[in-house]
Amino acid sequence: MQKITVLSGGYGGATFLRGLRHALRTGLLPGADSSGEVEVTVVSNTADDLWIHGLKVCPDLDTVMYTLGDGLDTERGWGRRDETWSIKEELSAYGVEGTWFGLGDRDVATHLVRTQMMEAGYPLSQVTEALCRRWQPGVRLLPMTDDRVETHIAVADDQSPSGRRVVHFQEYWVRMRAMVPAEAVVVVGLEGSSPAPGVLEAIGGADLVVLPPSNPVVSVGTILGVPGIRDAVLATGAPVVGLSPIVGGTHVRGMAHQLLDAIGVEVSAGGVGLHYGARGEGGLLDGWLVDRRDAHHLPALAAAGIRAAAVPLMMTSPEATAAMAAAAVELVS
């Protein structure tokens, strides 16, 4: 049995996973052992989570669950397909704060089940397992931690004495469209959090660990920030391979650009690869895939000790993404 562990954020990570599953189903993955049995474990970011209207919403867990369970609205990139918005309209009619974060009627059912189970005392990992019994994503989906962790962003605000105000990541991303510079990224609760059950074993016991094209700051970065997880990646016997979320000098979707600026990392396929660092030099990567348009970064990556290759990295279809997954495995086999 081969074990592949993927540290995933939202849309980019989920789309990659759909391609990885396609590669496994079509036998495209090199080296999948004769049994063909490959178990994929996803360790998902949970710092995008928020409590709103009394409900616990877990965007990155739900995006993976809906994508692999074929319930995602792929146009929007989040939430359910065939969605209706009566609850959102009714909340707006009452003048309730927070309807800028759109909860569809079908999606609300997921949050009601999750909130009820958590209030009954079930940890997020068991709640996620229960929700996945319906969605059958075909992977083991683990939250990075069962503890409450939330990414907050400091933005300039000349109305406040400090000249800054702090907003929840979702308000920065959804309400403000990430249009203002992120002056600081603070992941509340991260230092005191601990890996959810099964996370360290999934990394330590993997035959391959993948950093998919998710946001390196607020998705992969936060997962690695849970005490113990970065060390587990550094220590695992598995090769660690990453795929750049930056293509041609900018993020493909999302807001990696603003957040890489916030932590002083060059917004490029090379910059993110060097940020993760080479395994031999105390960093994470044995291999790093960049898009063909970013092949000029290969020499710097090689000089840093990172085995890198340039391949098509646009996830335009499950087949294209499957080819990326195969290239990633190939690179570190």
In the complex, least distance from residue 91 CB atom to ligand FO1, rounded to whole angstroms: 12
Interaction of residue 9 with ligand FO1, rule CB under 6 A: yes
* Residue 268: count of CB within 10 angstroms of its CB: 21
The DSSP letter of residue 279 is G
Residue nearest to ligand FO1 (CB): 10
Interaction of residue 10 with ligand FO1, rule CB under 6 A: yes
In the complex, least distance from residue 88 CB atom to ligand FO1, rounded to whole angstroms: 9
Of the candidates 99, 127, 125, 132, the residue with the CA atom closest to the CA atom of residue 113: 127
Q: Which one of 168-176, 239-247, 262-270, 284-292 is the stretch in contact with ligand FO1 (CB under 6 A)?
A: 168-176
Nearer to ligand FO1, 128 or 170 (CB): 170
Interaction of residue 170 with ligand FO1, rule CB under 6 A: yes
Interface pick for ligand FO1 out of 59, 212, 242, 283 (rule CB under 6 A): 59
Interaction of residue 49 with ligand FO1, rule CB under 6 A: no
Which residue shows structure tokens 């949970």? 46
Give me Rg for the CA atoms of the chain.
Answer: 19
Residue type, 63: T
Contact code string over 75-114 relative to ligand FO1, x by CB under 6 A: ---xx---------------------xxx---x-------
Nearer to ligand FO1, 33 or 70 (CB): 70
Interaction of residue 268 with ligand FO1, rule CB under 6 A: no
Interaction of residue 195 with ligand FO1, rule CB under 6 A: no
Q: What angle do CA 84, 88, 93 make, to 5 degrees?
A: 130
In a 13 Å sphere around the CA of 181, the CA atoms on its Cβ side amount to 8
The tokens of 222 are what? 């936060």
Task: List helix spans (H) across the chain.
Answer: 11-25, 59-68, 86-93, 105-119, 124-135, 169-170, 199-204, 220-225, 229-235, 256-262, 269-276, 298-303, 318-332
82's torsion region: left (phi>0), alpha (psi -120 to 50) or beta? left
How many residues contact ligand FO1, by CB under 6 A?
18
State the Cα–Cα distance between residues 17 and 211, nearest whole angstrom: 11
In the complex, least distance from residue 15 CB atom to ligand FO1, rounded to whole angstroms: 12
In the complex, least distance from residue 279 CB atom to ligand FO1, rounded to whole angstroms: 27
State the Cα–Cα distance between residues 300 and 302, nearest whole angstrom: 5
Nearer to ligand FO1, 85 or 122 (CB): 85
In the complex, least distance from residue 193 CB atom to ligand FO1, rounded to whole angstroms: 18
Nearer to ligand FO1, 50 or 325 (CB): 50
Interaction of residue 15 with ligand FO1, rule CB under 6 A: no
Of the candidates 333, 312, 288, the residue with the CA atom closest to the CA atom of residue 19: 312
Interaction of residue 62 with ligand FO1, rule CB under 6 A: yes
In the complex, least distance from residue 232 CB atom to ligand FO1, rounded to whole angstroms: 23
Interaction of residue 137 with ligand FO1, rule CB under 6 A: no
Q: Dihedral of CA 45/281/254/203: which sign?
A: negative
Judged by the rule CB under 6 A, the positions of this chain that interact with ligand FO1 are 9-11, 48, 57, 59-60, 62-63, 78-79, 101-103, 107, 170, 173-174
